[in-house]
Structure 1
Amino acid sequence: MFVRIVKMSFHEDKVDAFLDNFDKVKGHIRNFPGNRFLELYRDRENPSVFFTYSYWEREEDLENYRQSELFNEVWAFTKQFFNNKPEAWSVDKLVTLQ
C-alpha cells in the first residue's frame, strides 16, 4: 500500500464550488477499487490551498482510477478552478503511531 498526496491551490472565489463537488464525489473516489482511505486537508495559513491524502493498494489501482471516467469528470471540473499548477507525490508510509 502507498499514499498519494495531491496539493491543489484554488482561486478564492472558487473554493466553495470545489468543496461542494468534493462532497458529492468523495464516496465514489473512496469506494473505487484499490482505494483504502481518503482525506481532504485545508492549509491553515492559506484557505485556498488543499491537500488530498489517499491510500492505494497498488500503483495499478491508482492508475486505473486516473484512467477512469470518474477521475476524468472530477478532474475536468476541479482543474478549471486552479490558480496554480497542482503537485502530486506517491509515498510509502514508514511509521504510524496511534
Structure 2
Amino acid sequence: MIVRIVKMGICPEHIDTFVKQFMTNKADIRNFKGCDFLELYKDINDPTLYFTYSFWKSESALEHYRKSELFKTIWAKTKPLFNKKPEAWSLNRIETI
C-alpha cells in the first residue's frame, strides 16, 4: 500500500472554489480503482494550506490515477487556484499504533 500526501497552498480568494471542487470530485477519486481511502485536511494555523491524504493499493495504481482523464480534468481546474507550488509525498507505512 502507498500513502500519498499532497500539500497545496490555495489563494485566499479561491478557497471556497477549491473546497467545492474537492466535494464535487471526492467520490470519483475515492472510487477510482486502487484508491482505498481519501481525506482532506486544512492547516489549523494557515487557512490557505490544505492537504490530501490517500491510500493506494500500489504505486502503479496511483500512477494509473495520475495518468487518467479524471486526474487531468481535476488538476486542470485545481492548479490555477494555488498560491504556491504543491508538494507531494508517496510513503510506505511502517507502523500503526
TM-score normalised by length of structure 1: 0.97
Q: Deviations over 1:25-70 (max 9, x none)?
A: 0000000000000000000000110000010001110001001010
For the aligned residue pairs, the C-alpha RMSD in angstroms reads: 0.6
Residue 83 of structure 1 pairs with residue 86 of structure 2: no
Question: SS state of the match for residue 50, structure 2?
Answer: strand
Amino acid in the other structure paired with 2:79: K
Distance in 2, Cα, partners of 1:29 & 1:85 = 21
Shift of 1:94: 1.3
Determine what percentage of the aligned residue pairs are the same residue: 52
Structure 1: give runs of 5+ residues left out of the alignment.
none
Amino acid in the other structure paired with 2:19: L
Aligned partner of 1:21 in structure 2 is 21
Question: SS state of the match for residue 80, structure 1?
Answer: helix
TM-score normalised by length of structure 2: 0.98
Q: Across the two proteins, how many residue pairs are aligned to each other?
A: 97
Structure 2: give runs of 5+ residues left out of the alignment.
none
Q: Deviations over 1:11-31 (max 9, x none)?
A: 101000000010000000000
Q: How does 1:4-43 map to 2 (within 5 A)?
A: 4-43=4-43
Question: SS state of the match for residue 81, structure 2?
Answer: coil
Aligned partner of 1:95 in structure 2 is 95
